[in-house]
Amino acid sequence: MTSVAIPTDLQDAARSARRVEVFTGAGMSADSGLDTFRDATTGLWSNVDAQAMATLDSWRRDPDPMWAWYLWRAARARDAAPNPGHLAIARWQDALTGVSDSDGHLHVTTQNIDDLHERGGATDVSHLHGSLLAFRCSECGRSAPEPDLLTEAVERLTPQACAECGGPVRPGVVWFGEALPEKDFADAEASMLSCDLVVIVGTSGVVFPAAGLPELAVRRGVPVVEISPAATDLTQLSTWSLRTTAASGLPELVDAALA
């Protein structure tokens, strides 16, 4: 993706911002190679119904295919590297934390279930949809140690048993119909209600309730910049829309903010 020019008024807004909310989706991780649920090298999951792999009902009916799929995805997430966009967010966060008025802050809200933001150096990250790399018992909720992840896709694998109650261990992600993590969502809301700039990166804006969060800032008159190769449902809320990728657009925006 070619670079894009940062409009002068956006440069000014980014430089003056002291409390920044960065709201990220799948496009953020796509630039690290996590752009699809399907593995073109094996073809095993070429016809998988991703939504069917993300419901509690499916898990209760037959957990073995889901366990195999999530362990394979977790291995891909673990092996992926943060891209320049992740590094730029961490750099901006570090700079804001050190501003002289001591009120500078950057909070990240992500819908992604990898840990690339943290490995890229960011702190204060809210994960609305959980984590591929956290595991818990599907019966008693007890945290479970990370199992051996799958470097090659297999069709079925029996979940490990909980050490406490013997129930099947599940991935620590939020499936359709499940409640979002209460603290993460509350922290995201608080940031949207206190920030002075919102940066939306790589999210289509169609998965609720997460997609409704930016409106909290928009209602307060807070400017919004969207970084996405194509228009999304959140484009209409945006003050500026940069048609580029996270790996390209974020470093340029942060360079302008810190110039």
The alpha carbon dihedral of 208, 214, 219, 220 has a sign of positive
**What six digits make up the tokens of 5?**
């020019």
Question: Does residue 93 have a known ligand-binding role?
Answer: no
Print burial letters for 221-257: b (CB count within 10 Å at least 16), e (below 16): ebbbbbbbbeebebeebbbbbbebbbbbbbbbbbebb
Query: Which entry of 86, 107, 127, 129 is annotated as an active-site residue?
Result: 129
> Are 144 and 178 contacting, i.e. CB atoms less than 8 angstroms apart?
no
- Is residue 117 part of the annotated active site? The answer reads no
Report the alpha-carbon distance of residue 167 to residue 160 in Å, rounded: 8
Tell me whether residue 70 is annotated as binding: yes
Q: Is 140 annotated as a binding residue?
A: yes
Which is nearest to 248 in space by CA: 18, 44, 87? 87
83 is in an annotated binding site: no
Residue 254 structure tokens? 């942060």
- Residue 202, annotated ligand binder? yes
- In angstroms, the CA 161 to CA 168 distance is 5
Residue 140 forms beta bridges with which residues?
Answer: none
3-class SS of residue 6: coil
Q: Is 236 assigned to a binding site? A: no
Q: Per the annotation, does 112 bind a ligand?
A: yes
Q: Is 43 annotated as contributing to ligand binding?
A: no
Between CA 101 and CA 94 the distance in angstroms is 14
Q: Is 194 annotated as a binding residue?
A: no
246 marked as binding residue: yes
The response to whether 90 counts as a known ligand-binding position is no
Active site residues: 129
User: Which residues contribute to the annotated binding site?
Assistant: 70, 73, 111-114, 137, 140, 162, 165, 202-204, 246
Residue ranges of the annotated binding site for substrate are 70, 73
Binding residues for Zn(2+): 137, 140, 162, 165
Binding residues for NAD(+), by number, are 111-114, 202-204, 246
